[in-house]
Amino acid sequence: MVDVLPLVEARLVTALGEPDARAAVTFLGTDRIEVLRFHEEDLVRYATLGMSAQPMADPTAVLADPVKGPRAELVLSVRAGRADTDKVLRPLAVLAASPQVEGVVVAPGASLDVGGPLWPGAPFTSVLVGEPGGLVADLELDDPMDPVRFLPLLPMTPNEAAWKRVHGAQALQERWLAGGTDLRDPARRSVPLDTAPE
């Protein structure tokens, strides 16, 4: 059985450069999750490493397939120096462990709630899972394993998360686009949601 994680880390380094920090978090009954930090000019990116070690299993399946199934890691990008975003490491590790702990399949369009601010003073308590392939290309694995996808996380304010539950991920992303929202701003306000889009 191939060890997926060295391949995943190599893909992250190829796409984002060498990490300048890393932290490991272990939850009871789960594999260790690492979070790597990458600096790129005025951006800081955080990527999980460990979520893709096992495929995500359909929570309705009687037995989890140890080989087949979607695999993913999470990537969060924020502007550097505007907030104490390094405290996001544990919430990110919690999200990355959720397939093992809660049996959820993390996919684009999903909302993930961390139950508190993403970092101290953050106006966000949840994230929207974006489409993969933009920042870090999918990592193909040998058959019959699914590729590892690197899913961007887009922080949502509580108002945006509630609005997304009613109107859907696509509608929220259109609001962000129409409002010129800087989704990497760690101190941004909620996009206006009470008026009809132009």
**What pLDDT does 4 receive?**
93
**What pLDDT does 133 receive?**
84
**What pLDDT does 162 receive?**
95
The model carries a pTM of 0.92
Instruction: Decide which of 57 and 197 is more confident.
Output: 57
pLDDT per residue over 62-82, tens digit each? 666 778 889 999 999 999 988
**C-alpha angle 36/41/43, rounded to 5°?**
55
**What pLDDT does 28 receive?**
75
pLDDT per residue over 25-36, tens digit each? 888 777 889 999
pLDDT at 194 over 90: no
- State the sign of the Cα–Cα–Cα–Cα dihedral 52, 54, 59, 65: positive
Burial bucket for residue 194 (CB in 10 Å: 0-12, 13-18, 19+): exposed
pLDDT per residue over 96-148, tens digit each? 999 988 888 999 999 999 989 999 999 999 999 999 988 999 999 998 899 99
Query: Region 166-182: what's the mean pLDDT?
Result: 95
pLDDT per residue over 6-29, tens digit each? 999 999 999 999 999 999 988 877
pLDDT at 50 over 50: yes
**What pLDDT does 198 receive?**
42
CA atoms of 108 and 87, how far apart (whole Å)? 24
pLDDT at 197 over 50: no
Task: Let me know: does 43 contact 80? Beta carbons within 8 Å.
Answer: yes
Give the CB-side neighbour count of residue 86, counting CA atoms within 13 A.
Answer: 8
Residue 118 tokens, joined: 């993403």
